[in-house]
Amino acid sequence: MKSRLSLKNSVSTGLSSLLLASLLSILGCSSSTEPTFQKDKIDRAITDICKKEYGIDIKVTLTGSTLWVYFPTKDIVEETDKPEKTISIFSSEFTQIEPKETEFKIDYIIKPIEPKEELQKYRSNKQVGEKINKIWSVLRRVVFSMDKASQKEPQFYSVISADIKNGFEIEELAYYLDLKKFSYGLMSVTEYQHRSVQEIKINPEIIGDKEGKHLIPRDITMGEFIAAQIKHRMKLRFQKPEAARNIDIDKEVLNIAVYTIKAYNYSDFDELEINNLFSKNKIVLNRAAVLLSTGERLSFPGS
């Protein structure tokens, strides 16, 4: 179990740099002003370009407004000769973060602990990272030059890099407007890193799965995306961590939830409920209170 947790932390640390590198690399690519691709053909276009230009085999599936890209590879991370030290100051557990009927509910256990030093024994594999960069570059190239007169671009992009040798995968989930704003310099690097949701999954079914048969592509909703982003932001805040040890945990979680919901003008809920299962503290706000909130904006360096 300890090795798995260490692997997750190591991959998480390297993943942000991988994604950032991929996004920065595509900024240098010019976007065509002429519509080139039809929505019902972009899956084939992305697959063909990755194969013909970069020799990368991927599986692409368009489900509703969500584009799924499955990239089977090996050894996403590798052991490093110089492990980096990290210090944990919070214990975090996220039991439920999801839109549920008319309620947006967040259950969690976050508490300060004595500083605990850990060694990050793994680092991102540079060669695999370069391939991920190219996949994002092709995705942007195709989607940003779609025929928009009659069809709307996919709204969500899930790029799954699967280590079919070691049985884990990294999913990067991005929203179309976030990707576009960042690409054109309308969003900071730090804010984009917080908005692009990254998740690591360990599953024995991944081993040897070149076709992505263990996946069930589906159309992701805005509510699901916001819930996933709130969880992602909470992990960055308390597991990285960005927060000071004496921070007001419940207030910070509330700020994260309110800020994320307002960032997308999301209103398909009646109540926001936040439950700290450790302190037994509960906060409930109705939709109007959330959307009209003028509280402090989350302070992310560079955002």
Task: Quote the DSSP letter at residue 204.
Answer: G
Residue 263 and residue 291: Cα distance in Å, rounded? 10
Provide the whole-model pTM: 0.84
Residue with tokens 């800020």: 259
pLDDT value of position 295: 47
- Under 8 Å CB-to-CB from 288, ≥6 apart: which residues? none
More confident residue, 272 or 296: 272
More confident residue, 292 or 259: 259
More confident residue, 18 or 283: 283
97 confidence band (pLDDT: 50, 70, 90): confident
What residue spans of 124-218 are helical by DSSP H? 126-143, 176-183, 189-195
Contact yes or no for 176/157 (Cβ under 8 A): yes
Question: Backbone phi, then psi, for 261, in 5-degree steps?
Answer: -60, -45
Cα separations (Å) of 245 from 112, 114, 127, 172, 274? Answer: 6, 10, 37, 29, 20
Residue 95 and residue 92: Cα distance in Å, rounded? 10
Paired tokens of 107: 């259950």
